[in-house]
Amino acid sequence: MKHCKERKELAAFLYGELKDDERKRLESHLEVCPQCRKEIEELKQIVSESDSLKSDIKKALASVDWEMLPSKISENVFKKEIPLSRGSRTGKFWGLLFQPRFRPVYTALFLGILLGSLATFVVFRNSGFNGTTEGRFFVSGDFLERLELEMARRETLDYLEKSQYLLLDFVQSSPEKSAEFWQSNFASIRARDLLAKKKYIDLQLDRFQMAKAKKICDQIELLFFELAQITKELPVEEVKKIQNLIEERQILLKINLVKKELQDNEV
Amino acid sequence: MKPRETFEDDNIYILVEKIKNGDREAFITVTRIYQKKVFLLAFSFFRNREDAMDIVQETFLRFYEKVNMFRRGKNFQNWLLQIAKNLCVDYYRKNYKRNSDLQREKNVKELCQSSYSQKELNSSLDIKQIFSKCIDGLSEKQRMVFLMKHYNQLEYKEIAQILNIALGTAKSLHFKALQNLKVLMSPYMGRQT
């Protein structure tokens, strides 16, 4: 059923809350609209029914000693010495700040911070955090020590291996060929490289007290030193003498033994 | 419209300032001025004298606690009635809700069909009891607006301030309350005792 737009004003009209012009307009409408007339009659009846409770209210009002009540209430209030907690300026400030109407704002703020923190955590964990620690790495002193020992061991092994090949070459070739070989630039460069390397591994061998390895390395160094001295004038006899020396002292065999020990990580 | 008794001038602000400084006499004066208005609101809400008296005491106690939050420029009566209204709602939810939850939550139609059957119609319920039940059948806000309007004779503007709602909403809630009361009362119309 379609209702007049004036219908909603009926309650206000009934309670005398309409302005003069509004009231007059509604009165004219009621004259021509039977539907609204019926409605207002029904509402009037409801209002008069509501008055039925007024007698109870009057009775209740009459039953209270209104003269004594304020003193009684004040006695209770002042006896309790209720702290006026929001009296100070700071109290007022906090009172204003934490008004119930701001609750949604604080809730949103709190959730925002929470979500922001979570997002930051996720982002840093996935990418940013790795980025910042790239190149940085933390190890214990013990681990570093073992790493250095391992490096020294490998360097020594490498040195021994290269020397072994070179010496093997030298021993197995005929004195003439060896002399020729050692007179070449290639050989002297390799010998010098190995001598330089020896200087480096010396420090490591001393540090990690690899006595056996040190001893054999010293001998090899001496040999290379000799061989590096070989010039064009060096006679074949001299080469032969060095070859014999290597065999006599079983240098190649010793190298093999030390190598094996090094590989077994026992030196 | 006849002007209603109010104390909304400088006097109330002076009294409130005195209460802030712990003046007991000022407190008694304020209580004396507004006690009946608070009682009226509470009684129309509960239709029970004892509960209404409790609310009056609690309202003035709360008023004293919160007196420093009251600022000049506010309407004191509305502020005080707002405290009373909140207490009524809390008290009602605590003490009444459980007993009449079913009735209150049912819509108007259901109430017409179930609560007020022919059996009840023939019982000894008088019109006051019936009307009282019908008021309980309204939603909390409609009931509050209707009671404030009818028994406290407050203007829509004041009701809107107390309930913290728009003026239009107050008007519309009042109209709906009357409409619903009409529907709820329809089986009993013409059967007045």
Q: What is the 3-state secondary structure (H, E, C) of A246-262?
A: HHHCCHHHHHHHHHHHH
Task: Kindly report the nearest CA distance between residue A26 and chain B, in angstroms.
Answer: 15
Contact yes or no for B49 and A60 at CB 8 A: yes
Ranges of residues in chain A with a pLDDT under 50 are 87, 267
Q: Smallest Cβ distance to A70: which of B28, B69, B155?
A: B28
Per-residue pLDDT tens listing for chain B (193 residues): 444 445 556 788 889 999 998 889 999 999 999 999 999 999 988 888 999 999 999 999 999 999 988 888 888 999 999 999 999 988 888 887 665 554 544 444 454 554 555 555 544 457 778 888 888 888 889 999 999 988 888 999 999 989 989 999 999 999 999 989 888 888 776 544 3
Q: Give the nearest chain A residue to B71 (CA atoms).
A: A92
Contact yes or no for A64 and B156 at CB 8 A: no
What per-residue confidence (pLDDT) applies to A81? 62
Contact yes or no for A77 and B128 at CB 8 A: no
> Residue B190, by phi and psi: left (phi above 0), alpha (psi -120 to 50) or beta?
left
- What are the start and end residues of each CATH 1.10.1740.10 domain in chain B? 1-95
What per-residue confidence (pLDDT) applies to B52? 93
Contact yes or no for A74 and B132 at CB 8 A: no
What per-residue confidence (pLDDT) applies to A89? 56
Range B1-95 classified under CATH 1.10.1740.10: yes
What per-residue confidence (pLDDT) applies to B58? 93
- What are the start and end residues of each CATH 1.10.10.10 domain in chain B? 101-193
Contact yes or no for B175 and A52 at CB 8 A: no
- CB proximity under 8 Å: A 44-63 to B: 45-47, 49-50, 52-57, 60-61, 63
Is there a contact between B158 and B107 (Cβ–Cβ < 8 Å)? no
Rounded to an integer, what distance in angstroms lies between the CA atom of residue A189 and that of residue A167?
15
Q: Smallest Cβ distance to B47: which of A12, A56, A91?
A: A56
Task: Kindly report the nearest CA distance between residue B98 and chain A, in angstroms.
Answer: 24
Residue of A19, A38, A50, A58 to mutate when probing chain B, most B C-beta within 10 A: A50
What per-residue confidence (pLDDT) applies to A90? 60
Task: Kindly report the nearest CA distance between residue A109 and chain B, in angstroms.
Answer: 25
Amino acid at A13: F
What per-residue confidence (pLDDT) applies to A265? 65
Which residue has 């420093």 as its token pair? B68
Task: Kindly report the nearest CA distance between residue A53 and chain B, in angstroms.
Answer: 6
Q: Is the dihedral of CA A199, A201, A207, A211 positive or negative?
A: negative
A167-179 burial, b at 16+ Cβ within 10 Å, e below that, comes to: beebbebebeebb
In the CATH scheme, what architecture does the domain B101-193 have? Orthogonal Bundle (1.10)
Helix (H, G, I), strand (E, B) or coil at B70: coil
This prediction has a pTM of 0.54
Rounded to an integer, what distance in angstroms lies between the CA atom of residue B32 and that of residue A43?
35
Task: Kindly report the nearest CA distance between residue A112 and chain B, in angstroms.
Answer: 28
Q: pLDDT tens digits for A57-98?
A: 888 889 988 988 998 998 888 876 665 555 455 656 676 777
Closest CA to B141 of B190, B186, B70, B92: B92
Per CB-CB distance under 8 Å, the chain B contacts of A60 are 39, 43, 49, 52
What per-residue confidence (pLDDT) applies to A216? 78
CA angle A72, A78, A82 (to 5 degrees): 130
Rounded to an integer, what distance in angstroms lies between the CA atom of residue B100 and that of residue A140?
73
Contact yes or no for B68 and A43 at CB 8 A: no
Contact yes or no for A70 and B64 at CB 8 A: no
Rounded to an integer, what distance in angstroms lies between the CA atom of residue A215 and that of residue A219?
6
Q: Smallest Cβ distance to B35: which of A16, A45, A70?
A: A70
